[in-house]
Structure 1
Amino acid sequence: MQDAFRPVVSAARARLPRAFGTGLHSAYLYGSVPRGTARVGRSDLDLLVALRHDPAEADHRTAHALGAELDAEFAEIDGTGTLLFSRDRLLSEGERYDLGWFVACLCTPLLGEDLAARLPRYRPDDPPLARETNGDLARHLPRWRERIAAADDTEEARRPLVRFMSRHLVRTGFTLVMPRWRGWTSDLREMARVFGAYYPAREAQMASAAAYGREPVGDPAVLRSYVDDLGPWLAMEYARVHGVKAARAGQ
Structure 2
Amino acid sequence: MDHRGLDADGCFEREGSLGRVAPLFRPVVAAARERIAQAYGGRLHSAYLYGSLPRGTARPGRSDLDLLLALHRGPAAEDRDIAEVLGAGLDADFPQIDGVGILLHGRDRLLSEPERYDLGWFVACLCTPLLGADLAEHLPRYRPDTVLARETNGDLAELLPGWRARVREASTPPEYRALSRTLARKLVRTGFTLVMPRWGGWTSDLAESAEVFGRYYPRRAAQMREAASVALEPVADPAVPRAYVEDLGPWLAAEYTARHGRRTPRP
TM-score range, shorter chain: over 0.9
Q: State the one-letter code of the partner of 2:157.
A: A
Equivalent in the alignment of 1:194? 212
Q: State the one-letter code of the partner of 1:161.
A: L
Equivalent in the alignment of 2:157? 138
Is the 1:43–1:214 contact (alpha carbons within 8 Å) kept by the matching residues of 2? no
Distance in 1 of aligned mates of 2:39 and 2:166 = 29
Deviation string 1:97-120 (CA, Å, 9 cap, x unpaired) is: 111111111111111111111100
Q: State the one-letter code of the partner of 1:178.
A: M
Q: State the one-letter code of the partner of 1:237.
A: E
* Greater fraction of residues in helix: 1
Aligned-residue offset at 1:161: 1.8
Distance in 2 of aligned mates of 1:208 and 1:111 = 37
Equivalent in the alignment of 2:99? 79
Deviation string 1:206-228 (CA, Å, 9 cap, x unpaired) is: 11111111121122111101111
Report SS of the residue matched to 1:28: strand
Whether 2:41 is the aligned partner of 1:21: answer: yes
Aligned-residue offset at 1:82: 1.0
Q: Name stretches of at least 5 consecutive residues in structure 1 with no aligned partner.
A: none
Is the 1:25–1:52 contact (alpha carbons within 8 Å) kept by the matching residues of 2? yes
Distance in 2 of aligned mates of 1:45 and 1:175 = 24
Deviation string 1:13-37 (CA, Å, 9 cap, x unpaired) is: 1111112221111111111111111
Q: Please, what is the CA RMSD of the aligned residues? A: 1.1
Is the 1:163–1:216 contact (alpha carbons within 8 Å) kept by the matching residues of 2? yes
Equivalent in the alignment of 2:8? none
Equivalent in the alignment of 2:231? 213
Deviation string 1:178-233 (CA, Å, 9 cap, x unpaired) is: 11111111111111111111111111111111111112112211110111111111
Equivalent in the alignment of 1:204? 222
Is the 1:26–1:114 contact (alpha carbons within 8 Å) kept by the matching residues of 2? yes
Distance in 2 of aligned mates of 1:56 and 1:15 = 19
Whether 2:46 is the aligned partner of 1:35: answer: no
Q: State the one-letter code of the partner of 2:176.
A: R
Equivalent in the alignment of 2:166? 147
Distance in 2 of aligned mates of 1:207 and 1:47 = 27
Deviation string 1:86-135 (CA, Å, 9 cap, x unpaired) is: 111110000111111111111111111111111001011x2211111111
Q: Name stretches of at least 5 consecutive residues in structure 2 with no aligned partner.
A: 1-20
> Could you tell me the TM-score, scaled by structure 2's length?
0.89
Distance in 2 of aligned mates of 1:148 and 1:19 = 35
> Could you tell me the TM-score, scaled by structure 1's length?
0.95
Alignment counterpart, residue 121 of structure 1, candidates 130, 141, 153: 141
Whether 2:109 is the aligned partner of 1:89: answer: yes
Q: For residues 150 and 52 of structure 1, do their structure 2 counterparts lie closer, same or farther at Cα, with a shift above 3 Å needed?
A: farther
Distance in 1 of aligned mates of 2:40 and 2:187 = 31
Q: State the one-letter code of the partner of 1:13.
A: R
Distance in 1 of aligned mates of 2:196 and 2:205 = 13
Report SS of the residue matched to 2:114: helix
Distance in 2 of aligned mates of 1:15 and 1:239 = 42
Alignment counterpart, residue 251 of structure 2, candidates 209, 227, 233: 233
Percentage of matched positions with identical amino acids: 66
Aligned length: 247
Moved more, 135-144 or 153-162: 153-162
Equivalent in the alignment of 1:177? 195
Equivalent in the alignment of 2:66? 46
Distance in 1 of aligned mates of 2:167 and 2:105 = 26
Aligned-residue offset at 1:157: 2.1
Structure 1 stretches of 4+ with a deviation exceeding 6 A read none
